[in-house]
A = this chain, B = another copy of it.
Amino acid sequence: MPPLNADRAVLIAAREVLLRDPRATMAAVAEEAGMGVAGLYRRYANKQALLRAVAADNYRRYIAFAEAALSDTDDPWHAFTGFLSQVLDDGLPRLTLALRGEVDLDQGLLDLDKLAVDTTNRLLRGARGSGILRPDVTRADIVVILEQIGRIDVGDDVRSASLRRRYLSLVCDGLRAEAASRRLPGPPPHEAELIGRWSGEISSVS
Task: Give chain B nearest CB distance to A150 CB in angstroms.
Answer: 10
| Cβ–Cβ < 8 Å partners of A114 in chain B | none
Q: Does A49 contact B (CB under 8 A)?
A: no
Q: Does A4 contact B (CB under 8 A)?
A: no
Choice from B137, B152, B189 contacting A148 with Cβ under 8 Å: B152
Task: Flag the segment in A25-33, A123-131, A162-170 that touches B.
Answer: A162-170
Q: Does A145 contact B (CB under 8 A)?
A: yes
Q: Does A181 contact B (CB under 8 A)?
A: yes
| Cβ–Cβ < 8 Å partners of A189 in chain B | 154, 163
CB <8 Å contact, B162 and A186: yes
Task: Give chain B nearest CB distance to A168 CB in angstroms.
Answer: 9
Interface range on chain A (Cβ under 8 Å from partner): 35 or more
| Cβ–Cβ < 8 Å partners of A167 in chain B | 141, 144-145, 148
CB <8 Å contact, A181 and B185: no
Could you tell me the distance between the alpha carbons of A174 and B167 in the complex, rounded to whole angstroms? 10
Q: How many chain copies? A: 2
CB <8 Å contact, B144 and A152: yes
| Cβ–Cβ < 8 Å partners of A149 in chain B | 148
Could you tell me the distance between the alpha carbons of A115 and B180 in the complex, rounded to whole angstroms? 33
| Cβ–Cβ < 8 Å partners of A165 in chain B | 185-186
A residues contacting B by CB (< 8 A) are 137, 141, 144-145, 148-149, 151-156, 159, 162-163, 165-167, 169-176, 178-182, 184-189, 193-194, 196-197
**What are 19 inter-chain pairs, A to B, with CB distance below 8 A?**
A141-B166, A141-B170, A144-B152, A148-B151, A153-B197, A154-B197, A155-B193, A159-B193, A162-B185, A165-B185, A166-B184, A166-B185, A170-B171, A170-B184, A172-B174, A173-B173, A174-B179, A176-B179, A178-B179
